[in-house]
Amino acid sequence: MTAPVMINAYDPSSAGNLDPAVSELIARRERVLGQPYRLFYEEPVHFVRGAGVWLYDAAGNKYLDSYNNVPSVGHCHPRVVEAVARQASQLNVHTRYLDEGIVLYAERLLQMFPHDSSRLMLTCTGSEANDLALRIARTHTAGTGIIVTANAYHGITSAVAQISPSLGLHVPLGYDVRTVPAPKDYGGARDPGEVFMRDVEHAIADLRRHGIRPAALIVDTIFSSDGVFAGSPGFLAPAAEAIRAAGGLFIADEVQAGFGRLGTHMWGFMRHGISPDLVTLGKPMGNGYPIAGVAARPAVLDEFAAKARYFNTFAGSPVACAAGMAVLDVIEDEQLMENAHTVGLHLKEGFEALSKRYPELGSVRGQGLFLGVDLVSADDLSPAPQLAARLVNELRRRRILISASGPHGHVLKIRPPLPFTTEHADMLLAATDEAMKALTTSVG
């Protein structure tokens, strides 16, 4: 079973000497929330305050957040907080009354998309957005087949869990779901875009051979749970063409890559010069306020709109739209996309330099403020998830927050709030250097 996200989870059976207050809170938590709620780190952290790229524990220690992309414009950004507070004190109703906020927000957001994607549907979570995208795609195509990458994560509803192989063997994929290998760098020997297209075409043929009509290819455009892969601009285009040629839709899942994180574009798919049929949005959209959605080509929605009704009690409320609008304002005014580009380049170079010094640091991938760094065995370069877990915990002790991901759990996932500066990047690099020194000398 793949358990990428959980490689660093707190394990009561092997927990060291925890602060008694932390132990007690963990015990109370387990009593009411139970097992499904895992905690990060051998020694879980209890934060009480956040600001910008920093989180503070009860003792007042500050931790550099190099991992969280939900508080994308910075923890507790005052402009978002103020927008939410102001709107919440004024009006908060559902979408069956007229409201200008949702119209203004949709108009503004859709301007950031290719002309084709001119309709917006709002949900509360990324899972709901992908679930809705599946319903729309299946209605539009009259097919059910979905193609995903081998360790994809798209969310947690019944239907979306069935297209999320990273949830592990205990959560079986749907009978009409096919996985394809995630794109990767073949060191110049093969073209990743061509290989990916060929794999998608094979999956289409396999679905057809089972009498299943293909409905969609869905990809996280930064391939986060597959271990992070940006690839060269344009490489996704042939696969998108292939699914369309087969009558299916191309769905870009921008829950991870979206809202400027990749530095050069607002959305990951834009790097590839393609215009998806459906684009799903989430995480950073409200800087922590639950808002997510689907941008769509109008024609793709027609059938669904005529047949199915969609009403989501909380989605598209004035407060959700105020949060969303404030996030767009801050990204623009603070030039966070440009910052992601500049600081991302600096950080990537820094990790590349480190990887030259530590044979255990392998390939450095990604773009902007979304990077992945492989932890490998120095002997045979095979994935080293235990080392990744040790590094993550070692960095936590040095008050740097990070996690590991990928099918083997050996990929350091670096994805800080966007106001991350070169100074923050240097702190992360220096701490990684020290941690690697400590780990590679002590464990050999």
Ligand X SMILES: Cc1ncc(COP(=O)(O)O)c(C=O)c1O
Q: Which residues ranging from 281 to 310 are in contact with a copy of itself (CB under 8 A)?
A: 282-283, 288-290, 298, 301-302, 304-310
Nearest-angstrom CA–CA distance, 352 and 156:
35
In the list 11, 12, 61, 107, the residue contacting a copy of itself (rule: CB under 8 A) is: 107
Nearest-angstrom CA–CA distance, 69 and 129:
18
In the list 4, 101, 126, 286, the residue contacting ligand X (rule: CB under 6 A) is: 126
Asked if residue 84 binds a copy of itself (CB under 8 A), the reply is yes
**Residue with CB nearest ligand X?**
126
Asked if residue 127 binds ligand X (CB under 6 A), the reply is yes
From the CB of 433, what's the least distance to a copy of itself, in Å?
25
How many CB atoms neighbour CB 276 within 10 A? 33
Among 375, 382, 380, CA closest to 360 = 375
In the list 130, 144, 403, 405, the residue contacting ligand X (rule: CB under 6 A) is: 130
How many CB atoms neighbour CB 82 within 10 A? 12
Q: Which residues ranging from 396 to 415 are in contact with ligand X (CB under 6 A)?
A: none
From the CB of 188, what's the least distance to ligand X, in Å?
28
Among 68, 130, 418, CA closest to 266 = 418
Nearest-angstrom CA–CA distance, 317 and 88:
10
Binding mask 236-255 for ligand X (x = CB under 6 A): -----------------x-x
Q: Which residues ranging from 327 to 346 are in contact with a copy of itself (CB under 8 A)?
A: none
**Residue 154 contact, options a copy of itself, ligand X, none, Cβ 5-8 Å cut-off depending on partner type:** ligand X
Q: Which residues ranging from 169 to 228 are in contact with a copy of itself (CB under 8 A)?
A: 170-171
In the list 77, 119, 154, 178, the residue contacting ligand X (rule: CB under 6 A) is: 154
Nearest-angstrom CA–CA distance, 190 and 12:
45
Asked if residue 277 binds ligand X (CB under 6 A), the reply is no
Nearest-angstrom CA–CA distance, 265 and 271:
7
Asked if residue 68 binds ligand X (CB under 6 A), the reply is no
| Single-letter amino acid code for the residue at 80 | V
Asked if residue 367 binds a copy of itself (CB under 8 A), the reply is no
Q: Which residues ranging from 393 to 432 are in contact with a copy of itself (CB under 8 A)?
A: none
Closest to a copy of itself by CB, 141 vs 363, is: 141
From the CB of 205, what's the least distance to ligand X, in Å?
26
E-only strand ranges, 271-420 = 278-281, 292-296, 361-367, 370-375, 400-401, 403-405, 411-414
Asked if residue 112 binds a copy of itself (CB under 8 A), the reply is no
| Dihedral over alpha carbons 394, 397, 403, 408 (to 10 degrees) | 30
| Single-letter amino acid code for the residue at 206 | D
The tally of CA atoms less than 13 A away on the side-chain side of residue 364 is 20
In the list 45, 150, 345, 430, the residue contacting a copy of itself (rule: CB under 8 A) is: 45
Beta bridge partners of 220: 253
Q: Coil, strand, or helix at residue 96?
A: coil
**Residue 405 contact, options a copy of itself, ligand X, none, Cβ 5-8 Å cut-off depending on partner type:** none
Both structure tokens of 218: 């869905």
**Residue 214 contact, options ligand X, a copy of itself, none, Cβ 5-8 Å cut-off depending on partner type:** none
Who contacts 366 (Cβ-Cβ below 8 Å, separation ≥6)? Answer: 222, 228, 229, 230, 344, 348, 372, 414
In the list 15, 22, 150, 237, the residue contacting a copy of itself (rule: CB under 8 A) is: 22
In the list 53, 64, 73, 95, the residue contacting a copy of itself (rule: CB under 8 A) is: 95
Phi, psi of 167 (to 5 degrees): -70, -10
From the CB of 3, what's the least distance to ligand X, in Å?
15
In the list 161, 197, 228, 262, the residue contacting a copy of itself (rule: CB under 8 A) is: 161
Contact between 407 and 57 (Cβ < 8 Å): no
Asked if residue 120 binds a copy of itself (CB under 8 A), the reply is yes
Closest to a copy of itself by CB, 100 vs 423, is: 100
Residues that bind ligand X (CB under 6 A): 125-127, 130, 153-156, 220, 224, 253, 255-256, 282, 292, 312-314
